[in-house]
Structure 1
Amino acid sequence: MNDNLRGACFMMGSMATFTCNDAIIKFVAQGMPTFQMVFLRGVAATALLLALAHATGALSKPIPRGDWKWVIGRSLAEVVSFFPFILALTHMPLANVTAILQVLPLAITAAGAVFLGERVGWRRWTAISVGFAGVLLIVRPGGADFDRWSLVALAAVVTITARELLTRRLSPDVPSLKVAIFTAVGVMGLGLAISLPSGWASVTPANWALIALASVFIIGGYLFSIMAMRVGEVAAVTPFRYTALIWGLLLGWAIFGEWPKPLTLIGAVMVVGTGLYTLLREGRRAPAPLPNAPR
């Protein structure tokens, strides 16, 4: 398995766990303040990450002085992007907000080519563009389902793109677990700052269980997304963000009864086809070592 395939697997794992976490947040937010839930999830996730980092020895590994600016910058980008994302998530169907975020592969690939100097061949541009066309069929800008909350979701795209570029700047000596801890603490702080002035609601045992489950999923999302952007080429790894769309469609239907329209299903098929094409093509490529590997 070459670095691009490893990165693709990490990215698919990230999209699966992130979307499962998003579905839980959207479900629990129906009965309690959203940012209260975000804070409580952050406490559990941070505790689990600290325990995991201690058990693996990552907690004792120092972050090189030159990497601190990238770690802090990435954490800030995560916090800034989370706010518009969570607003869109709680006001839109899960599949719709997930679909809008699928503009990210195109944005991140373009940013990687411009700011990181990564080479992007015509086949990759074509695959990403076809996947993006599938997303447009799902989102249908200008249609009844495209409103101001769709624009809020698009606002998150810019900062998420910045977050991924900052992740690429991390040196191999930075443990991914430590980066995930900073991320969890940042989002937890945002949840606390917003939830305290508005007051808290009582938490049922069922919601406690769901919050605990969400904390496990968000840890997977954090770690897999960090490792995905530290191994493989941006243009090869980012198309697998499209797999989040499939999880969004399935969970939206199973949990919230949001049955996709025919055009949505056609777009989903295009997205899946793009991912399969990229996966098969990368499987034929010779392994190419890269300077940044997940730790």
Structure 2
Amino acid sequence: MSTDASELRDAGRPDAQAARNALTGIALMCAAVFCFAGLDATAKFLVRDLPAVQVVWMRFLTHVVLAMIIFRVWRDIAIFRSRHWGLHLIRSLCLLGSTVFNFLAVRYLQLAETVSIMFAAPFVVTALAGPILGEWAGLRRWLAIAVGFLGVLVVVRPGVGGMHWAAIYSVAAMGCYAFYALLTRKMAGTDSAAGMLIISGAVAALAMTPVAIDAWVMPKDASTWLLLLSTGAYGSIGHLALIQAHRLAPAPLLAPFMYTQIVWMVGLGYLVFNDVPGPWTFLGAAIVVSSGLYILYRERVTGRG
């Protein structure tokens, strides 16, 4: 049998398809966290002149409007059919809770402290994916996650003193995000990506409406309006990529690639805010990337963690 024929035969195997799905899921996860980094950078720029609750509300409102236009919901309302409306509500509140608790935390804590706590989410996802989803991580994947988390700590270098009481807000934000990711994976196989994307944004937008209207400040110019509206684009595209990633790959495999967000944050910080990364940042980013590349290598070679 020729080499080409052998490759075609191998390409048709279920394990080959699973490997391709896993690699596509990893790529989508990286794209998602890139969008989230863009969202954070845009929000950081906007909150200098606008209330944070207004930015959060517009992020969810434009997220919903954009998603409804993209998926043309008026042509097929079947995308909203679900047997898991309770999970939809919980997942939506988890997304909102992650945003709100993170906002409360940064009022009191240094950004390094909140980021270091938030990036503990992959541990929670990996630990709970087994009992909740039946997706058990192997020892090598656990070690890669630990190395990636170490890289994040090298970048942010949180203080060694006593933690402020408001750290509970960051812990809550991290927990909300972890459960949001787990529920996304659980529902991705049965519910439409469009429905999951729109419902989560709609619930969050409705919940934020009274507070946001009360705090509303008119944007000063067209560029501010454009940036404000772009938050919804970053959010909707990012979460759509996240949903599709969890549709294709198991949660423990995807969890470590959440760490790549720190690389995008460093780049955008330099480009947008002229924050020059120091040597510790480069060292930490190298550790994070190495952790992700190792898992990618293991997935290509063995299809296992």
TM-score range normalised by the length of the shorter chain: 0.7 to 0.9
SS in 2 for 1:169: helix
How many Å apart are 1:207 and its aligned residue? Answer: 0.7
1:4 corresponds to: 22
How many Å apart are 1:279 and its aligned residue? Answer: 1.3
How many Å apart are 1:136 and its aligned residue? Answer: 1.9
Please give the per-residue CA displacement for 1:202-253, whole angstroms capped at 9, x wherever unaligned.
4421111112222211111111112222321222111111110101111122
**CA distance in 1: counterparts of 2:74 and 2:294, whole angstroms:** 36
Within a 5 Å distance, the mapping from 1:13-24 to structure 2 comes to 13-24=31-42
1:210 corresponds to: 227
Q: CA RMSD in A?
A: 2.7
**CA distance in 2: counterparts of 1:61 and 1:126, whole angstroms:** 39
How many Å apart are 1:85 and its aligned residue? Answer: 1.9
Query: Does the 8 A contact of 2:62 with 2:231 survive in 1?
Result: no
2:87 corresponds to: 70
2:133 corresponds to: 116
**AA in 1 matched with 2:25:** G
**AA in 2 matched with 1:197:** D
Larger Rg, first or second structure (1 or 2): 2
* Counterpart check, 1:25 vs 2:61: no
Q: How many residues align?
A: 286
**AA in 1 matched with 2:28:** F
1:44 to 47, 50, 62: 62
Please give the per-residue CA displacement for 1:142-167, whole angstroms capped at 9, x wherever unaligned.
348x7666653333111111112222
Please give the per-residue CA displacement for 1:252-295, whole angstroms capped at 9, x wherever unaligned.
222223333432322211111001111122122359xxxxxxxx
**AA in 1 matched with 2:181:** E
1:170 corresponds to: 187
2:289 corresponds to: 272
1:293 corresponds to: none
**CA distance in 1: counterparts of 2:74 and 2:243, whole angstroms:** 17
**Structure 1 residues not aligned, in runs of 5+:** 288-295
* Counterpart check, 1:83 vs 2:96: no
**AA in 2 matched with 1:279:** L
**CA distance in 2: counterparts of 1:5 and 1:138, whole angstroms:** 27
Query: Does the 8 A contact of 1:99 with 1:138 survive in 2?
Result: no
How many Å apart are 1:60 and its aligned residue? Answer: 3.0
How many Å apart are 1:109 and its aligned residue? Answer: 0.6
Go from structure 1 to structure 2 and tell me whether the alpha carbon gap of 1:250 and 1:87 turns closer, same or farther (over 3 Å shift): farther
2:3 corresponds to: none
Query: Does the 8 A contact of 1:98 with 1:244 survive in 2?
Result: no
1:227 corresponds to: 244
**AA in 2 matched with 1:37:** V
Go from structure 1 to structure 2 and tell me whether the alpha carbon gap of 1:84 and 1:131 turns closer, same or farther (over 3 Å shift): same
**CA distance in 2: counterparts of 1:74 and 1:258, whole angstroms:** 35
2:4 corresponds to: none
Comparing 180-189 and 150-159, the one that deviates more: 150-159
**AA in 1 matched with 2:144:** A
Query: Does the 8 A contact of 2:185 with 2:250 survive in 1?
Result: no
Percent of matched pairs sharing the same residue: 28
* Counterpart check, 1:246 vs 2:263: yes
Query: Does the 8 A contact of 1:138 with 1:264 survive in 2?
Result: yes
How many Å apart are 1:112 and its aligned residue? Answer: 0.9
**CA distance in 1: counterparts of 2:53 and 2:188, whole angstroms:** 33
1:257 to 247, 265, 274: 274
Comparing 221-230 and 6-15, the one that deviates more: 221-230
**CA distance in 2: counterparts of 1:276 and 1:54, whole angstroms:** 38
**AA in 2 matched with 1:182:** I
The alignment's TM-score, normalised by the length of structure 1, stands at 0.86
SS in 1 for 2:187: coil
**CA distance in 1: counterparts of 2:214 and 2:154, whole angstroms:** 40
**AA in 1 matched with 2:172:** A
**CA distance in 2: counterparts of 1:97 and 1:59, whole angstroms:** 39
